[in-house]
Amino acid sequence: MIKRKPVFPNVIELNYQAGERLGCNVYLVFDRNEWLLIDIGFEDTVEEIVELIRQMDFPLSACKGLVATHADVDHVQGLAKARQLLKAPTYGHRLAAEPLATSDPVKTYAQIAAQGIYLDMPSVKLDHLVDEGDRITVGGLNLEVWHTPGHTDSQLSFRLGNLLLSGDNIYRDGCVGVIDAHHGSDIAAFVKSLERIRASDVEWLLPSHGPIFRKDNALLDRTIERVRGYLHMADFGTCAADWPLMRDWDRELAEGRMPE
Ligand SMILES: [Zn+2]
């Protein structure tokens, strides 16, 4: 047996627990005789994670469910294997259901052909679809489901008291989850999700990558301003709403202005 190292009451994060980086953050929420996992990560760490959970003396049969924060391969490649191993139902947003069921290589980010990235993405069924306002119970706890699209259309966050398991919305250094048209990023929605987190009275953000950190409104403000800027910049191509330089150029062309 190994000693449990909760990061907060009722919450263990498996990288913190292991004392090394296994992959994306894997949160184990537990109460009474039930526990639930939020994300599982890559397939090749599933057995190690399950073994850690067993050694922490959680009965494997008491797994209430396996939650996908969204359909990206680095969060869910191991989901099919974990579902089979733990015989537990999967949870996720309806917009994640199809890419997961069909192993959609583009939407799950399993294939980035231009970079020679070809990862397996085993097909997996979502047994329970959850959406904004739903609650997932674990023992006597209630996880409040937030739909926070932006990074992907299916991105979920989960509130537990003063904690927000905040997915790929924002990390401790102010970076955000990848913005890429191919996997359903939406910059305007991203700004709204970040503003919602900013406006909330949660005290801690438990992201899907990297260290847990205190909610910092100054950091959120800087990040919101940066991401909002992308709406009017060429940096993320078709994710932008417009590109004012093209309006300026139209005018300059019409005026007959030459390079000066
Ligand atoms: Zn991610």
Domain spans in the chain, listed from the N-terminal domain onward: 11-255
Instruction: Kindly give the distance from the C-alpha atom of residue 209 to the centroid of ligand 1, in angstroms, as a whole number.
Output: 7
Ligand 1 mean position, distance from CA 257 (Å): 46
- CATH class of domain segment(s) 11-255: alpha beta
Question: Mind listing the pLDDT tens digit for each residue in 110-144?
Answer: 999 999 999 999 999 999 999 999 999 999 999 99
Across the range 66-72, mean pLDDT stands at 98
Residue 177 Cα to ligand 1 midpoint, Å, equals 6
DSSP-H helix ranges across the chain: 14-18, 46-55, 73-76, 79-86, 94-101, 187-199, 217-230, 244-254
What pTM was computed for the model?
0.96
Using the mean position of ligand 1's atoms as its centre, give its distance from the Cα of residue 38 in Å.
12
CA pseudo-torsion sign 41, 45, 47, 53: negative
pLDDT one-digit tens code per residue, 199-229: 999 999 999 999 999 999 999 999 999 999 9
* Residue type (1 letter), 3: K
* Centroid of ligand 1 to alpha carbon of 168 (angstroms): 5
- Which are the contacts of 113, defined by CB distance < 8 A and separation ≥ 6? none
**108 CA distance to ligand 1 centroid (A)?**
10
Amino acid at 28: L
Q: How many helices (H) and strands (E) does the chain have?
A: 8, 14
**Centroid of ligand 1 to alpha carbon of 21 (angstroms):** 14
Kindly give the distance from the C-alpha atom of residue 75 to the centroid of ligand 1, in angstroms, as a whole number: 6
How far is ligand 1, taken at its centre, from the CA of residue 72, in Å? 6
pLDDT of residue 260: 87
Q: Which residues contact 7 (CB under 8 A, 6 or more apart)?
A: 13, 16, 206, 212
What spacing in Å lies between the alpha carbon of 169 and ligand 1's midpoint? Answer: 9
> CA 87, 93, 96 angle in degrees (round to 5)?
85
What's the pLDDT score for residue 183? 84
pLDDT above 90 for 33: no
Around ion ligand 1, which residues have CB less than 5 A away? Answer: 168
> CA 39 to CA 96: how far, in whole Å?
13
Largest CA distance in the chain: 78
**How many angstroms separate the alpha carbon of residue 53 from the centre of ligand 1?**
22
Residue 182 Cα to ligand 1 middle (Å): 15
Q: How far is the CA of 87 from the centre of ligand 1 (A)?
A: 25
